[in-house]
Amino acid sequence: MISQGLLEKYNLPVPRYTSYPTVPNWKDEIDPAEWAKNFAQQFQVHNQKEGISLYIHLPFCESLCTYCGCNKKITTNHHVEGEYIKAVVREWRLYLQMMPEKPVIRELHLGGGTPTFFSPANLHKLLSTILQFGVIHPDHSFSVEGHPNNTTREHLQVLYDLGFRRVSYGVQDNDPTVQFIINRIQPFENVARATAMAREIGYTSVNFDLIYGLPRQTLESMERTLDQVISLKPDRVAFYSYAHVPWTSRGQRLFDEKDLPSADLKMQLYRLGKFHFAMNGYSDIGMDHFALPSDELYRARYGSVTETTNQPRLHRNFMGYTTQATSMLIGLGVSSISDIGNAYAQNKKTIREYYAAIEAGKLAVTKGYFLTTEDEVFKQYILDISCRGTAAFDPAHLPLLEAFSFPLLHSLAADGLVAWDYSGLSVTKKGHHFIRNICSAFDLHLQRKNKSGVNQLFSKAI
């Protein structure tokens, strides 16, 4: 078990590194024409070689979960589904016009909001339209985020018939007191029912999202939640730290900050979760994710004795850890983010602005970033560390590494978190708990700002 002192030392504000450079370094406006030019070039390089990933943001929720920092639209009016589907399909057609050949769709994820806000029929309409214009890769991975309260057997069956095999349920916490204050009432029986339905239909991977650090959480309530969750044997668990950012998430202003666990208690909650997962056969994939050895995410990280190559295939992008190492991720829908390898772009954040751009026949991209050669180099270092636990240093990069990364590696090595020399780095077993901190040593944007005293707001590592 990691010591409390070490946790306190490295409980610093650092990014989750679903991108590099991270979003605070992006430009508020990018040139859509330059984005389209880069997209077309990257598509020709990567489509046939590895395929593309699609993320579709479905923003609607029937009620507000006060902890949530996602881009969402609260409504009980389900007539909004049809107009939104039309806009997403139009956006997809705009991207198709920039493709000289059919896209090879290797990965598809429905996120939210609440994707299961949409009716099964409308999900089928949206996805069948999207997929008919592409070629589905034989090794594809399709997944959906579901709410245990409103995910029906029909939802799961429709998606399964379209090729979906993984579902992620937002559990967060099972304690009634915690659920009340975060306005997410979902009896454990609903979680168990939704999990059983997915497995009966044939889904091969069920993920639960849990959050520690929520208001009114105690060690006793967390232990009950963990015992209940583990009794259902989810194939994966994402164990996220609650980030209290009421200045950007207005819903978080609806409860008293005095209800939040102290920093010391939050660390105890974190250690309790990691202990329970380890004792029940879950392996730490890195950055909040745990998986059973039977799950594809585990095999992508650690390999398998049944695979002749035994090469880790883990990748990380805006969807978190993934088993599909595609260089191109197209984000469709309001506020969605696209990553084409050498550039990022985020769609407009309000539905009104998103609709206006799409109806005008324009891509809805607004905020974004075009990577420099330096960015691409250090992005790969961060990916290697977060996904494989190792990095090989190119001698050409030594001046930058010596100026920014190596001074931090001395401290990390002194605490037993890394082993390194001028040729490369490997993360130790102890260091695996501090991947975010280790990656931050290679975040030159962050390190330059730290040296200049510029403050950037990130959630703490724990």
Going from the N-terminus, what domains does the chain have, and what CATH number goes with each?
Answer: 4-339 (3.80.30.20), 372-449 (1.10.10.920)
Residue labelled with tokens 């997944």: 143
Question: What does pTM read for this prediction?
Answer: 0.93
Q: Alpha-carbon distance 202 to 3, whole Å?
A: 41
* Average pLDDT for 117-142: 97
* Average pLDDT for 344-367: 97
HSE-CB at 141 with a 13 A cutoff on CA atoms is: 22
Q: Alpha-carbon distance 245 to 247, whole Å?
A: 5
SS (H, E, C) 50-90: HCEEEEEEECEECCCCCCCCCCCEECCCCCHHHHHHHHHHH
Q: Alpha-carbon distance 338 to 328, whole Å?
A: 8
Could you say which DSSP state residue 359 is in?
Answer: H
Q: According to the model, what pLDDT value does residue 391 have?
A: 96
Q: According to the model, what pLDDT value does residue 278 have?
A: 95
Instruction: Say yes or no to pLDDT of 29 above 90.
Output: yes
CA angle 67–72–73, rounded 5-degree value = 120
Instruction: Say yes or no to pLDDT of 306 above 60.
Output: no
Instruction: Say yes or no to pLDDT of 13 above 90.
Output: no
Closest CA to 99 of 28, 61, 45, 62: 45
